[in-house]
Amino acid sequence: MTEQKSETSVRRGILFAFALALACYLAWLLRKELVLLYVSALFAVVLSPFVTATSGFRIGRFRPFKGSAVLFLLLLVAGAVAGFGYLALPPVIGDLQEFGREMPTRLPALMDRLQRIPLVQHLLGGNIGSEAQTFLSNTATGILLSIKNWASALFDTAMGVILTVYFILEGRQAYGWFLSFVPLESRDRLDTTLQRARLRMDKWLIGQGGLMLILGVSSTITFVMFNVRYAYALGVLMGALNIIPVLGGAIGISLALLSASATSWGSVLGVAVFYAIYLWIENSFLIPRIMQNRLNLPGLAILVSLLIGSALAGILGAMVAVPTAVLVAVLLEEYAVVKDRE
């Protein structure tokens, strides 16, 4: 009898190991789709407070957005993106068209100047013209090959939006279905832990929104003062990119300095000094006051989560890296950290 139970236990262990290996293999094959599901669910958690606040908006006794808060949020985001494109894209497109018209006349003179530089002659062997043609040909080929990638990214974005809307509308049912897989004796504890993580995410979102607004307004004022091209568009972009820790700020500052270089070196110096002062103020005063007791995460944890998120899902992964770090931290505090007994 004992031997039979032992054989049964061994068989169950083998079957469990095979099932676990198969599940890991399927998860690896479907990693892109699983990451998209996770990012969409996390975006739904982050955006749910806006939907709740919008649905509770009243004009007297009338609630205009009751039952259509998600639609209003989508229209608001679409309108903001369309307005930004309408105001920001025409000047950029105009400059690119002008650059394209002037390139055939300026390129020979530029090639002639490069050929007179000894270092460039040594590196390219004097074949600057052929090297430039090869570079332009490779660039054009890369653009054509990237059309498929852009189409795939557009499809993933559309699916992400649809899934986010679904999770916002059906989030309670999906959350209850997820909890149904947890044993009854552990369900309440997990529910309480996840709700605590959601509250910390909401606090992070409010604090991050304040930092984005401060950076966007101050950047716009600075760009206007130094006559930087695309001042208003860059200001909005600076504020929006600030939702991505470290990486977003680095991209925004690089774009601002590049745009300022088209005006004058004085503008570049002014913008650089502004960001040096702003980063000092943000790290010394704004973040400790606005984000105090909101994250309770070390800087190294944020950097590691940013690297992992960007590696798994690109920009979207970087955007949800901090909320994910908050979720992991709360789960570890509840289940892994050994608390002192009183």
* 164 lies in some domain: no
- The reported pLDDT for the residue numbered 17 is 80
Domain residues for 196? 183-342
* 203 lies in some domain: yes
Pair (212, 325) in one structural domain: yes
* 43 lies in some domain: no
* 176 lies in some domain: no
Is the pTM for the entire model greater than 0.85? no
* 177 lies in some domain: no
Q: For residues 251 and 314, which has the higher predicted lDDT (pLDDT)?
A: 251
Q: What average pLDDT score do residues 132-142 get?
A: 52
* 131 lies in some domain: no
Residue 50: both structure tokens together = 């806006």
Pair (74, 222) in one structural domain: no
Residue 221: both structure tokens together = 């004022």
* 248 lies in some domain: yes
Give residue 20's pLDDT band: very low, low, confident or very high (50, 70, 90).
confident
Q: CA distances (Å), 32 to each of 119, 154, 158, 255, 296, in order?
A: 46, 14, 15, 30, 30
- Tens digits of per-residue pLDDT, 256-315? 888 888 778 888 888 899 989 988 888 777 776 666 556 677 767 777 887 887 777 777
Q: For residues 189 and 205, which has the higher predicted lDDT (pLDDT)?
A: 189
Pair (322, 192) in one structural domain: yes
Distance between CA atoms of 305 and 300, rounded to whole angstroms? 9
Give residue 342's pLDDT band: very low, low, confident or very high (50, 70, 90).
very low
- The reported pLDDT for the residue numbered 292 is 55
Scanning the structure block, which residue is given the tokens 């955006």?
47
* 160 lies in some domain: no
C-beta separation of 35 from 313 below 8 A? yes
Domain count, the chain: 2
> What sections of the chain are H helices per DSSP?
2-29, 31-55, 69-115, 118-124, 128-169, 171-179, 184-225, 231-241, 247-261, 265-281, 287-290, 299-319, 321-335
Q: Is 99 helix (H, G, I), strand (E, B) or coil?
A: helix
Assign residue 117 a region (left: φ > 0; alpha: ψ between -120 and 50; beta: otherwise). Answer: beta
Pair (221, 327) in one structural domain: yes
Of 101, 116, 131, the residue at which a domain comes to its end is: 116
The yes-or-no verdict on residue 341 having pLDDT over 50 is no
C-beta separation of 255 from 268 below 8 A? no
Mean pLDDT of the chain: 75
Pair (340, 205) in one structural domain: yes
C-beta separation of 187 from 328 below 8 A? no
Pair (202, 341) in one structural domain: yes
